[in-house]
């Protein structure tokens, strides 16, 4: 069942419970409110048919089944309403295409001029990080808010780097974020077309084949001087280009270059490379091709062929915009609006794919999901909510100004989302075992506690006064003898230090003692506790900044706090996020040994 079908069913169930029977039209309005991309006449008609089918199915169910479904689907509707808020984040208006209507309409596959088409084009050479999420969400929402089309295109034109593993990871990460592309494609799908477009530029005198060594090309470009092949006639250049494709030249022996402007202050215009030879097996196409396009050539051509109207990309490509537009013009395509956004920079975090790969191989990082990283896999592992990432990403808008990202805002958004749904549990760090003196028999043998303050769901903790409790050493050391404290959600207790000078066996005294007492508990210091007979050892992992100001990796950047958690945590599912009260939100990472990672 797709996410859209789940939402239709959820609304139908709620509708049926409230009014006796579900009706299609009210549900249609709710779905369109959160899915503006479904508002076109054709898609609206298909959506209505889907809703009618779901309504018919739901109206046949008995009430007890509806109530069971409602419990399972209520969380989905809550998230859907939360996501609607994120659509309301004000993005700056996209630049107008009105000046280029005729040209824009000429691009192949674009369709109706009024349709907004955006794309996210990652290279499948690594794992996505928070900066990629920013670019992906801005492109996705820019299209979806306007009922447009969002395309995911894998820029897989370097067979030495592109891998199936990375493509699968990117798809999985985007799905987790809730980004659902209308179309998925690969730049490599267009290789034959790119060869044809290269020949078109050669025939027009706009490209030539250069066989200079790479060092010579670099030197001449820096000096703004032509290479000896620049004045090739088109017939010779076409013959050499065909030799590149047929395998006559080896890697590094020949490249196809654009005939730009050697005197331009913009070095991107100084005869850049359009196509080069890479002798490596491609993860999709094997050894079928050896001549591959550069980003500068592939981006404008494939954007135009796929009907892209707005290409949102990193500010680092801004100097290459002139070349992008020039290639479109030379090939007779309509223009495309380029929007350059700032890169996401976060102090104290490692973002270099090369450096991360090295540290993973050296065993200094656990992997690409090491919680010290900002990869989406790492953020997911530590319990970051996709909606928090979405709101954080959209908060930057389409601005170009370079600012260091304040990640505290991301964690704040995450806490807000987790607070409404994460179950509560007890954990005591660096524990001290205390004896319990309960002369009046106040304490129950089974303690019933709420899993969440706003829900009538409970967990139970068996309590043995003979076994005692674990409390935090820091709490115990801060108390004075005779002080009255509150064992949270349990009872008041008097701290007795005078009659127990040690907690070590075989020495004088009973060890730490808490004497249960009655009275008001308002204003008393509250502490966590875990029954000694219902405790399990656990470790809490806290990721710290892993890069110093000079960019060096800090090896001791994971802090581990050990203690006891209530045994109820053994029922948690992997990656489930909970709140250890007074500690924060944590995601279950492993059960053996029992380990949690700080989320926010």
- Find the catalytic residue in 343, 357, 450, 497: 343
Spatial strand order of the sheet with 594-598 comes to 423-425, 577-580, 584-591, 594-598, 535-543, 558-566, 427-429
Bridge partner residues of 263 (DSSP): none
Three state DSSP letters for 128-171: CEHHHHHHHHHHHHHHHCCCCEEEEEECCCCCCCCCHHHHHHHH
- Find the catalytic residue in 123, 413, 429, 566: 123
Look up 581 and say whether it is catalytic: no
Spell 149-187 as b/e; 16+ CB within 10 A means b. Answer: bbbbbbbbbbbebbeeebbebbbebbeebbbebeeebbb
Which H or E run includes 185? strand 183-186
The CA distance from 557 to 547, in Å, is 9
Look up 561 and say whether it is catalytic: no
Look up 123 and say whether it is catalytic: yes
- Find the catalytic residue in 3, 315, 353, 424: 353
Alpha helices in 333-468 (DSSP H): 353-361, 376-381, 386-394, 407-419
Alpha helices in 487-568 (DSSP H): none
Domains assigned to the chain: 3-82 (no CATH), 97-346 (3.40.50.620), 431-532 (2.40.240.10)
Question: From the CB of residue 404, how many other CB atoms can be counted at a distance below 10 Å?
Answer: 10
Task: Show pLDDT as tens, one digit a residue, over the chain (600 residues).
Answer: 677 788 888 889 988 888 889 999 888 988 887 776 677 777 788 899 999 999 999 999 998 888 878 876 665 565 555 555 544 434 556 665 544 433 344 455 444 446 899 999 999 999 999 999 999 999 999 898 888 999 999 999 999 999 999 999 999 999 999 999 999 999 999 999 999 999 999 999 999 999 999 999 999 999 999 999 999 999 999 999 999 999 999 999 999 999 999 999 999 999 999 999 999 999 999 999 999 999 999 999 999 999 999 999 999 999 999 999 999 999 999 989 999 998 888 888 988 888 998 999 999 999 999 999 999 999 999 999 999 999 999 888 887 777 678 898 999 999 999 998 999 999 999 999 999 999 989 999 999 999 999 888 999 999 999 999 999 999 999 999 999 999 999 999 999 986 544 444 444 456 789 999 988 888 899 999 999 999 999 999 999 999 998 889 999 999 999 999 999 999 999 999 999 998 999 999 999 999 999 999
Bridge partner residues of 186 (DSSP): 154
- Which pTM does this prediction carry? 0.81
């Amino acid at each position: 069942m797709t996410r859209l079908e789940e939402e239709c069913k959820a609304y139908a169930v709620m509708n049926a419970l409230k009014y006796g029977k579900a009706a299609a039209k009210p549900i249609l309005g709710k779905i369109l409110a959160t899915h503006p991309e479904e508002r076109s006449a054709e898609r609206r008609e298909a959506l209505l048919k889907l809703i009618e089918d779901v309504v018919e199915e739901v109206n046949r169910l008995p009430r007890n089944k509806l109530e069971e479904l409602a419990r399972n689907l209520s969380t989905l509707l809550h998230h859907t309403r939360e996501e609607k808020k994120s659509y309301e984040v004000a993005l700056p208006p996209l630049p107008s295409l009105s000046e280029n209507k005729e040209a824009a309409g000429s691009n192949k596959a674009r369709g109706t001029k009024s349709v907004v088409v955006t794309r996210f084009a990652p290279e499948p050479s690594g794992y996505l990080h928070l900066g990629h999420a920013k670019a992906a969400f801005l492109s996705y929402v820019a299209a979806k808010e306007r009922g447009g089309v969002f395309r995911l295109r894998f820029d897989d034109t370097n067979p030495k780097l592109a891998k199936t593993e990375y493509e699968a990871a990117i798809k999985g990460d985007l799905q987790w974020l809730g980004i659902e592309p209308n179309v998925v494609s690969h730049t490599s799908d267009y290789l034959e077309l790119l060869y044809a477009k290269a020949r078109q530029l050669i025939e027009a005198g706009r490209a030539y084949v250069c066989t200079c060594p790479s060092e010579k090309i670099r030197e001449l470009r820096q000096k703004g001087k032509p290479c000896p092949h620049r004045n090739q006639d088109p017939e010779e250049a076409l013959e050499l280009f065909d030799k590149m494709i047929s395998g006559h030249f080896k890697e590094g022996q020949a490249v196809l270059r654009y005939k730009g402007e050697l005197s331009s202050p913009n070095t991107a215009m100084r005869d850049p490379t359009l196509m080069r030879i890479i002798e490596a097996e491609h993860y999709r196409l094997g050894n079928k091709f050896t001549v591959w396009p550069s980003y500068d050539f592939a981006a404008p051509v494939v954007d135009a062929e796929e009907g892209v109207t707005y290409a949102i990309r990193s500010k680092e490509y801004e100097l290459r915009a002139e070349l992008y537009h020039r290639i479109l013009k030379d090939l007779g395509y309509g223009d495309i609006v380029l929007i350059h956004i700032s890169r996401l920079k976060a102090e104290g975090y490692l973002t270099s794919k090369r450096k991360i790969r090295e540290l993973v191989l050296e065993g200094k990082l656990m992997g690409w999901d090491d919680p010290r990283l900002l990869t989406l896999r790492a953020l997911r592992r530590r319990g970051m909510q996709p909606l928090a990432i979405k709101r954080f990403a959209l908060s930057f808008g389409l601005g170009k100004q370079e600012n260091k990202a304040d990640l505290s805002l991301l964690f704040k958004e995450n806490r807000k989302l987790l607070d409404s749904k994460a179950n509560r549990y007890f954990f005591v760090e660096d524990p001290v075992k205390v004896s319990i003196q309960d002369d009046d028999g106040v304490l129950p043998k089974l303690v019933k506690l709420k899993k969440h303050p706003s829900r009538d769901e409970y967990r139970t903790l068996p309590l043995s006064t003979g076994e005692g409790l674990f409390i935090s050493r820091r709490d115990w050391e801060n108390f004075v003898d005779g002080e009255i404290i509150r064992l949270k959600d349990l009872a008041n207790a008097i701290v007795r230090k005078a009659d127990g000078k040690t907690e070590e066996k075989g020495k004088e005294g009973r060890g730490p003692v808490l004497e249960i007492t009655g009275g008001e508990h308002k204003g008393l210091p509250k502490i966590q506790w875990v029954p000694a007979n219902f405790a399990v050892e656990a470790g809490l992992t806290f990721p710290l900044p892993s890069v110093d100001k000079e960019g060096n990796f800090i090896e001791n950047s994971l802090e581990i706090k050990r203690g006891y958690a209530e045994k109820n945590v053994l029922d948690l599912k992997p990656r489930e996020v909970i709140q250890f009260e007074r500690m924060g939100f944590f995601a279950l990472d492993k059960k053996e040994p029992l380990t949690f990672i700080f989320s926010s």
